Amino acid sequence: MAKQSRHELILKLVAEHGYISNEELASRCQVTPQTIRRDLNELADNQQLSRHHGGAGTNTSIANAAYSQRRVMQHEQKARIAQRIAQQVPNFSSLFINIGTTTEEVAKALLNHTGLQIITNNLNVANILSAKEDFDVLVAGGTVRKDGGIVGQGTEDFINQFKVDFGIVGISGIDEDGSLLDYDYREVRVSQAIIKNSRQVLLAADHTKFGRNATIRLGNITDAHQVYTDQATPTKIKALLDEHQVNLIIC
């Protein structure tokens, strides 16, 4: 396995398990423990994980993992979700896209479309979509976070000027009662504005988001018109979606 592929797998495993031993990593990567120790030292020097005796762990909890770690977590599932969402968006549509690694995948999946107008508070999304000359990409102003997200009152005010066809929303966690949860109050306010000003809300959430805790309530899963995920949802969530006639798409 190539070094870059090993590093991606190591970060994925560490993020999923919180802590993993050198022996387990060596087995999963099919290399010697000495190679794993060198890999872990390099990743730790880059502040992508923390070294521990006999293994490695995340610098933070998985729920608030570094953006570079979250990019490789559930990547295949996020890409499948993104492709299905892109199929739902017609050419010449207007849409919001919020902050998140899944919404970045949606941006990539939209590159074959024509004539889209995109309003986003995600610099990574803007960079991806601005490659298309026939796309009109508007970036909200505000405070730029290290992960490329843009937040603040100015961002919220900018979003509130528009009414668009689709709001494509990612989320950090979904409680068993359907509450949509996130960590940054400023980001939550912007996402709430996106939901309010979208004719259809498309929620992108891989299976790891269900049951994951976060501190700030954004809204409820029933605020969405369609929910895109990669596995069957918990029973309570499915019943809630059915009750409110929210379309569930398993990708």
Give mean pLDDT, residues 198-224.
93
Cα separation, 209 vs 190, whole angstroms: 20
Contact present, 230 and 248 (Cβ < 8 Å): no
Which pLDDT does position 35 carry in this prediction?
96
Cα separation, 1 vs 195, whole angstroms: 43
Token pair belonging to 19: 């802590």
Give mean pLDDT, residues 96-106.
95
pLDDT tens readout for residues 105-119:
999 999 999 999 999
| Helices 75-88 + 101-109 axis angle, to 10 | 50
| Helices 22-29 + 3-17 axis angle, to 10 | 130
pLDDT tens readout for residues 121-156:
999 999 999 999 999 999 999 999 888 999 999 999
Strands 216-220 and 19-21, sheet pairing? unpaired
Contact present, 4 and 72 (Cβ < 8 Å): no
3 state DSSP class of 87: helix
What band does 17 get if pLDDT is binned at 50, 70 and 90?
low
Query: How high does pLDDT run on average in the chain?
Result: 91
Class of domain 74-250: alpha beta
Contact present, 240 and 72 (Cβ < 8 Å): no
Contact present, 119 and 96 (Cβ < 8 Å): yes
Token pair belonging to 180: 């949509």
Question: Which residues share a beta bridge with 143?
Answer: 151
pLDDT tens readout for residues 21-66:
899 999 999 999 999 999 999 998 887 887 877 888 765 444 345 5
Provide the percentage of residues in the chain whose pLDDT is more than 70: 92
Strands 117-120 and 94-97, sheet pairing? parallel
The torsion region of residue 77 among left (phi > 0), alpha (psi -120 to 50) and beta comes to: alpha
**3-70, what's its fold?**
Arc Repressor Mutant, subunit A (1.10.10)
Domain boundaries, the chain: 3-70, 74-250
Residue 97 has pLDDT above 80, yes or no: yes
Q: Which amino acid, 95?
A: L
